[in-house]
């Protein structure tokens, strides 16, 4: 069975709405819907839930994690190291598939997964995660990788940031500051740096949404 099938069966048996299960498990309603449909809206491929999502679902259904894991397709087992890792307390944040310009982070519904950050990190600010699209930040950051981002409207020179330019979706770039403006620079030399004067920063506008603080690389 898929995780979505198990969740839907549980909700049906307990006459529970997605909203109610979301509140009980900590999994967003949007991601519960994705799990139950078991189809990624962009790729059309089946959803591959993270172990953290499985853990949250188990807690929401009052089910032992290993028992739930054993019900999933393939009857996969996990190592003791992984079990210990996921017993640690943490804070769950949403992984966004895209960030639309001008839309508050908390209002974005394009949620593709969840990630866990430590309580220590969570105490240092407000965080979200973003799935990377494109190859402009290769080789360090690749298509499908997830970056953990602390929300802030400014950053230091050489920080990697998430920014919007001229009303477009958010982009991941390295920030360079100059007396007369800034540059947003790709790691991939195939892409030219984007330079903006102080006047252009205001007029376009160019806005920093947050600083990338961690990379969660994905492997095939």
CB 28 within 8 A of CB 18: no
Which strands form 181-185's sheet, in the order they lie side by side?
Answer: 111-117, 91-96, 127-131, 146-151, 206-216, 160-165, 171-178, 181-185, 194-197
Q: Classify residue 108: in a domain, yes or no.
A: no
Q: Classify residue 82: in a domain, yes or no.
A: yes
Known active-site residue 136: yes
Q: Classify residue 84: in a domain, yes or no.
A: yes
User: Which class for 82: exposed (0-12), middle (13-18), buried (19 or more C-beta within 10 A)?
Assistant: exposed
Mean pLDDT of the region 7-16: 93
Q: Classify residue 12: in a domain, yes or no.
A: yes
pLDDT in tens, 128-171: 999 998 899 998 898 889 999 999 999 999 999 999 988 788 88
Q: Classify residue 7: in a domain, yes or no.
A: yes
- To which residue do tokens 């030399």 refer? 189
Q: How many CB atoms neighbour CB 217 within 10 A?
A: 12
Q: Cα dihedral angle (208, 209, 210, 216), rounded to 10 degrees? A: -120
Which of the following is catalytic: 8, 55, 173, 211? Answer: 173
Provide the number of structural domains found in the chain: 1
CB 207 within 8 A of CB 164: yes
Q: Which structural domain, as residue segments, surrounds residue 17?
A: 3-88
- Residue 87 has phi, psi (to 5 degrees) of -85, -20
What are the CA-CA distances from residue 76 to residues 80, 83, 109, 186 (Å)?
Answer: 13, 13, 30, 39
Q: Classify residue 179: in a domain, yes or no.
A: no
Full-model pTM: 0.60
Which of the following is catalytic: 22, 53, 136, 186? Answer: 136
* Domain CATH number, residue 63: 1.10.260.40
Known active-site residue 17: no
- To which residue do tokens 């943490």 refer? 90
Q: Note the pLDDT of residue 89.
A: 60
pLDDT in tens, 57-107: 999 999 888 788 878 874 343 444 444 554 556 788 989 888 766 666 665
CB 176 within 8 A of CB 160: no
Q: Which of 52, 58, 131, 130 is nearest to 92 (CA)?
A: 52
Q: Classify residue 220: in a domain, yes or no.
A: no
Q: Classify residue 150: in a domain, yes or no.
A: no
Q: Note the pLDDT of residue 80.
A: 44
């Amino acid at each position: 069975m898929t995780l979505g099938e198990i969740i839907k069966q549980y909700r049906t048996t307990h006459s529970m709405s997605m909203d109610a299960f979301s509140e009980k498990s900590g999994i967003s309603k949007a991601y519960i819907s994705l799990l139950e449909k078991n189809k990624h809206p962009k790729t059309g491929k089946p959803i591959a839930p993270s172990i953290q999502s499985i853990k949250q679902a188990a807690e929401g259904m009052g089910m032992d994690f290993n028992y739930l894991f054993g019900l999933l397709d393939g009857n996969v087992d996990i190592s003791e190291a992984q079990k210990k890792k996921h017993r640690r307390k943490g804070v769950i944040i949403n992984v966004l598939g895209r960030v639309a310009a001008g839309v508050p982070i908390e209002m974005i519904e394009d949620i593709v997964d969840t990630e866990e950050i430590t309580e220590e990190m969570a105490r240092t600010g407000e965080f979200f995660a973003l799935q990377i699209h494109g190859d402009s930040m290769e080789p360090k950051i690749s298509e499908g990788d997830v970056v953990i981002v602390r929300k802030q409207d400014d950053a230091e020179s050489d920080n990697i940031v998430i920014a919007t330019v001229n009303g477009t979706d958010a982009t991941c770039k390295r920030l360079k500051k100059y007396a007369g403006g800034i540059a947003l620079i790709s790691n991939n030399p195939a892409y030219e740096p984007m330079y903006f004067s102080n006047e252009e920063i205001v007029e376009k506008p160019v806005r920093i949404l947050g600083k990338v603080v961690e990379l969660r690389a994905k492997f095939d």
